[in-house]
Amino acid sequence: MRTSDKNALITGASRGIGRQLAVSLAELGYNPILVGRNSDDLRLVADDIHSSTGRQTSIYVVDITDESKIRRMVNDLEEKLLNIHILVNNAGIHRKGTLELQENEFQELLEVNLKAHFLMTRAIVPLMLRNGNGYIFNIASRSAKVGFADTGGYCASKWGLLGLSESLYHKLTPQGIKVTALCPAWVDTDMARRADSPLHPDEMIEPADLSKTIEWLLSLSSGACVKEIVITNPKSL
């Protein structure tokens, strides 16, 4: 599937899964709108996209846990007449711990991994409804399906995102907006290494596996709706 005049907004686009998805969507012909907190990292991604595909990107340095900053971004998108056809809710953080987590650490997990995606989706859906179509991809985690003893806070935030995603699936699909949650196990990213993944990189899911999954989902007919996809590692079955 290729397109030339559609826009894809990706949060957490400066590295890891978000970077991979931004590049792959540009290769499919979408105009990437890169959202993150580090302008230098986002610019590097934009340069890579331009050199590999020739496509221009838009960059927004936004704290997506702040609704007023999201609103300013959306107002700017509307002024530029940029409709959003794909929203990838990807930004996220990982913290080890369950009851030993400090309250502020638990709150940060909920703010970044759940609240931010709620706020972003609430701001973008009206643009999609105006188009009469759209696709929302929520990058959850296998931790949204399985509660692990040492990452209770992270699991709670991802279970919340999966619940929100399923509710959006039932609410928005009849209105022409597809919603799919992707729930991968360990993905070979910097975040996985910082989280002390027990797997060797060769045993992990590659970021490109998620972009290939999204490409497949986008190729399905309008009548085919996929609520969630779980991707595991051989040692995580």
Look at residue 237 in the predicted model and tell me its pLDDT.
65
Using a pLDDT cut of 90, give the percent of the chain over it: 90
Q: Is the pLDDT of residue 93 over 90?
A: yes
Pull the structure tokens for residue 152. 């209770």
Q: Is 30 a catalytic residue?
A: no
- Mean pLDDT, range 52-64, rounded to an integer: 95
Look at residue 236 in the predicted model and tell me its pLDDT.
72
- Mean pLDDT, range 37-46, rounded to an integer: 97
Which residue out of 30, 135, 154, 169 is catalytically annotated?
A: 154
Residue among 143, 93, 142 at smallest CA distance from 113: 93
Cα four-point dihedral sign 120, 124, 129, 134: negative
- Mean pLDDT, range 61-80, rounded to an integer: 97
- Mean pLDDT, range 130-154, rounded to an integer: 96
Look at residue 4 in the predicted model and tell me its pLDDT.
57
Instruction: Give the highest mean pLDDT range of 158-162, 193-197, 230-234.
Output: 158-162
DSSP bridge pairs for 229? 182
**Mind listing the pLDDT tens digit for each residue in 106-139?**
999 999 999 999 999 999 999 999 999 999 999 9
Look at residue 2 in the predicted model and tell me its pLDDT.
44
| Domain regions of the chain by residue span | 7-230
Q: Tell me: domain 7-230, CATH 3.30.300.30, correct?
A: no
Quickly count: other Cβ atoms within 10 Å of residue 164's Cβ.
20
